[in-house]
Amino acid sequence: MPYSSAHRQKVRQSIIDSARRLFNRHGFDGVSINAIMAGAQLTHGSFYSYFGSKGELYTEVLACFLTDPHWKHTWEGVHIDTTAAALGPQIVRAYLSGQHFEDIENSCPMVALPSDVARSDQSARNAFETAFKAMVSILEQGSSNTHHSQHVVAQAVAALCVGGMVIARAIADRALADELRGACMAVALKLGGWRRATRSKPGTTTPHRARAGQALRRVRRADRSARG
């Protein structure tokens, strides 16, 4: 008897979750299909019922926590109020938080995997680009910088978040890494015009599904139009 579509989707997502944790920790080349399937408590043989290759799975894993509706992980002590008028300052603080810094396995893959992406095929590069564009689209909403366009500001803020965390993770001196995260956060908040924004309350991260989904759909439509 064939499995239901709901069951297949659940299994597929468990493979993606396992791969995300392992890729974030060990990189693309350091993880085997066997390890991914073991992490999902599945057999190696069933992998090809869901993905054509490890590369195809890699593209799925690159979905950022801002854009993946199935992202379930929460960073303890980090809260995002999805009803707030301005999500920008909350995203900046969450992205550059100590909790995100510490939790490597559940990182946004844009932080953990950029060097792997640069060496990968075009599909992986496209997936990374889509996730980054969606992040920029979300950050455009509510920016109050009067000297530059919202799009330019959002691009710079997104780069500060992703790049700042990449460099902080690469630094051995924890005090220097924390200082760098703080510097990126302060500049990103000022750049976005969110310098006096109210800090988010402690709690549980709730990915902003609706706005993130809208942003991702806008990016994909724009990409399709650009390709003709």
According to the model, what pLDDT value does residue 205 have?
38
Quote the tokens at residue 183. Answer: 């510097």
Asked if 124 and 59 touch (Cβ cutoff 8 Å), the reply is yes
pLDDT (tens digit, 9 = 90+) per residue, 125-138? 888 998 899 889 88
Asked if 145 and 153 touch (Cβ cutoff 8 Å), the reply is yes
Strand locations in 77-223 (E): none
Q: What CATH number has the domain spanning 5-61?
A: 1.10.10.60
- Every domain of the chain and the residues it spans: 5-61, 88-226
Asked if 189 and 195 touch (Cβ cutoff 8 Å), the reply is yes
SS3 80: coil
pLDDT (tens digit, 9 = 90+) per residue, 162-213? 999 999 999 999 999 999 999 999 999 999 988 654 444 433 333 444 444 4
Quote the tokens at residue 79. Answer: 């809260």
The 8-class DSSP code of residue 65 comes to: T
Residue 55 has pLDDT above 80, yes or no: yes
What mean pLDDT comes out for the span 97-104?
A: 92
Residue 119 has pLDDT above 80, yes or no: yes
Question: CA–CA separation, 23 vs 27, rounded Å?
Answer: 4
pLDDT (tens digit, 9 = 90+) per residue, 128-176? 998 899 889 888 877 777 788 899 999 999 999 999 999 999 999 999 9
The 8-class DSSP code of residue 47 comes to: G
Question: CA–CA separation, 22 vs 129, rounded Å?
Answer: 21
User: Which is nearest to 113 in space by CA: 181, 21, 51, 35?
Assistant: 21
What mean pLDDT comes out for the span 60-72?
A: 73
Question: CA–CA separation, 62 vs 15, rounded Å?
Answer: 13
Number of helices (H) and strands (E), helices first, in the chain? Answer: 11, 0
Fold for the domain defined by 88-226: Tetracycline Repressor; domain 2 (1.10.357)
**Whole-prediction pTM:** 0.76
Residues in the chain: 228
